[in-house]
Structure 1
Amino acid sequence: MIAIGQYNDLRIITKTDLGLVLTDGEDEALLPYTEVPKNTEVGDNVSVFVYANKESRLIATTKRPLACVGDFAYLTVVDDSEDGAFMDLGLDKDIFVPAREQKRPMFKGDSHVVYVFLDTSNNRMIASSKLLNFVEEHEIDLEEGDEVSLLIADRSDLGYNAIIDNKYIGLLYTNELFDILNPGEVRKGWVKKIRVEGKIDLSLQPMGYGHILDNKDALLEELKESGGVIALGDKSAPDDIYDRFKLSKNAFKKVIGGLYKDRLITISDHEIRLFVDKEAE
């Protein structure tokens, strides 16, 4: 069976006035002549994306859509009405977001993170911005400290919601962020905590002691290149620390605390220095 809203490898079986007829041995789809690759003949196999048109006929295209069925994606509204909105999918056909599937009203020119799925009543692709209806909340195959891919979804009272690995949803807390985030951005992140109720706390920085060790080496190297002194310390502003080292103030204090315990640096409120053993001189 041809998978609607997905890529399919199909065989060309005949030509018509409108285009080539493709099949998987069970269903058929039409590939318009404007979409046919050069030097393609009957009997060849082609990789195409398939969708259903208004008449429920299966249409194939060699264009690459911005999202497939089962994907979360950041799309732009190209038209709106009382019934719903149409979003650009990167194809000749836009994708419809019914009014009932809109978390908040969508208007032309807006962009939103949506989930793409099939309307089982007509096998046509539609989208929804009610993301919580489509994320996995129970069987979470993640562990604290895992590196993940994040799609920034929207802002909440506590921070930013983000889609994790196209499957789960988690939260980046505002008070732990030092970058400006925008919906639609794809970022590398880490799982900070998985709560009992299944909620996931996220971080834009690696977790664990291994990360501290890596940054200890990097900071020592930076100190040496800076003549043994860096004008950042225990009471420096978090933004200043992040601008220099891309570390939160908490992570920075862990790093310099480790270096201090190893007698490699000295620390003051607004400065760190390479340790000099005067007795050894």
Structure 2
Amino acid sequence: MQLGKTQTLKISEKNHSGWILVDESGEKAFLPKVFTSDDKEIDDDVEVFVYQDDGKLKATTEIPLAEVGEYAVMGCVQSLPSGAFMDWGIIKDLFIPYKQQKSKILEGKRYLVYLYVEETLGLITGTTKFKRNPQYQDLPFEKGEKVDLIIMNESELGWNVIINKKYIGLIYTSDVFKKLYPLSEEGGYIKAIREDGKIDISLQPEGFENVDEFKQKILDKLEENYGLLFLSDKSTPEEIKDELQMSKKNFKKALGGLYKDKIVEIMDDKIKLV
């Protein structure tokens, strides 16, 4: 049985309060009646998330915000001296012991939480203490791959981010072209995987194959401004960033394409739709 993971189990027994589910080794978990359905029979498979409750394995068809080994943003539903209970999307709340809190967790606030199985008691536990920019091996990414991000916090180098709920990466300040907010979600791209296993992230795709996205962004801004945009290839990176949330490099590529297609006219201090 994979504790803290979504998995497929087999229905072994039905009773008035729910189903007994088993894995291939015969280990059992209980699925409460509220999560059962009439279209399933004994020996049918069912996909569930397995957790603990009062020392016993239970299952739910609910989808948790995160599984063991993943990060998610969760709200605190109760804060006690011994620890805090977090809403992680299933019927049972996740407990974060006081010693696993980077700072005191307050009821009603949202926090970035990592899930793991505590070795001594074997319990699914949360923590808000985690390494910054850890070194990884055998990463399942390719350069340029699109990924989902959770924004962590700003540092001296840029912004630390969570990649696909599992990995920590960094967006360098020079690659930030829009306002970022802690705990918000963004789309991003793998910029580089360094020899030390650290991951660099970009908020924008790179290369000529992605120029169309930036072309459209310029055209949308031109239409908003009645066919005029007070930017040109002589504009500063800061001016381009403030107006279009893109780098000057990508701006010049897209602008050159629009000019070549005779869609825009480029003047000394502005761009005009033809």
Residue 22 of structure 1: aligned partner? 21
Q: Matches of 1:263 and 1:63 in 2, distance apart?
A: 51
User: Contact 1:75 / 1:112 at 8 angstroms: preserved in 2?
Assistant: yes
Q: SS at the partner of 1:153?
A: strand
User: Contact 1:145 / 1:208 at 8 angstroms: preserved in 2?
Assistant: no
Opposite residue 172 of structure 1, the aligned amino acid is: I
Deviation at 1:91, TM superposition (A): 1.8
TM-score (norm 2): 0.79
Deviation at 1:239, TM superposition (A): 7.0
Deviation at 1:206, TM superposition (A): 0.7
Deviation at 1:257, TM superposition (A): 5.6
Which of 71-80 and 159-168 deviates more? 159-168
- Per-residue CA shift, 1:159-199, capped at 9, x if unaligned? 32111233332122345434333333332211233444433
The structure-2 alpha-carbon separation of the partners of 1:118 and 1:135, relative to structure 1 and needing over 3 Å to count, comes to farther
Deviation at 1:10, TM superposition (A): 2.4
Q: Matches of 2:272 and 2:195 in 1, distance apart?
A: 43
Q: Matches of 1:16 and 1:214 in 2, distance apart?
A: 56
Which of 229-238 and 118-127 deviates more? 229-238
Q: SS at the partner of 1:137?
A: coil
Deviation at 1:108, TM superposition (A): 1.3
Q: SS at the partner of 2:131?
A: helix
Residue 36 of structure 2: aligned partner? 36
The structure-2 alpha-carbon separation of the partners of 1:72 and 1:143, relative to structure 1 and needing over 3 Å to count, comes to same
- Per-residue CA shift, 1:76-108, capped at 9, x if unaligned? 111223332211112221111123322333221
Q: Matches of 2:163 and 2:98 in 1, distance apart?
A: 26
Q: Output aligned runs, 1:12-161, within 5 Å.
A: 12-16=11-15, 18-25=17-24, 26-54=26-54, 56-132=55-131, 137-161=136-160
Deviation at 1:58, TM superposition (A): 0.8
**Number of equivalenced pairs:** 272
Q: Matches of 1:10 and 1:36 in 2, distance apart?
A: 13
- For the pair shown, which has the larger CA radius of gyration, 1 or 2? 1
The structure-2 alpha-carbon separation of the partners of 1:233 and 1:166, relative to structure 1 and needing over 3 Å to count, comes to same
Which of 179-188 and 202-211 deviates more? 179-188
The structure-2 alpha-carbon separation of the partners of 1:224 and 1:19, relative to structure 1 and needing over 3 Å to count, comes to closer
Opposite residue 75 of structure 1, the aligned amino acid is: M
Q: SS at the partner of 1:131?
A: coil
- Per-residue CA shift, 1:34-81, capped at 9, x if unaligned? 222235444443222211112x21112222222222222111111223
Q: Matches of 2:261 and 2:133 in 1, distance apart?
A: 52
User: Contact 1:79 / 1:108 at 8 angstroms: preserved in 2?
Assistant: yes
Can you give the 5+ residue segments of structure 1 that lack an aligned partner in the other structure? Answer: 276-281
The structure-2 alpha-carbon separation of the partners of 1:133 and 1:86, relative to structure 1 and needing over 3 Å to count, comes to farther
Q: Matches of 2:182 and 2:219 in 1, distance apart?
A: 36
Q: Matches of 2:213 and 2:156 in 1, distance apart?
A: 33
Opposite residue 114 of structure 1, the aligned amino acid is: V
TM-score (norm 1): 0.77
Percent identical among aligned pairs is 38
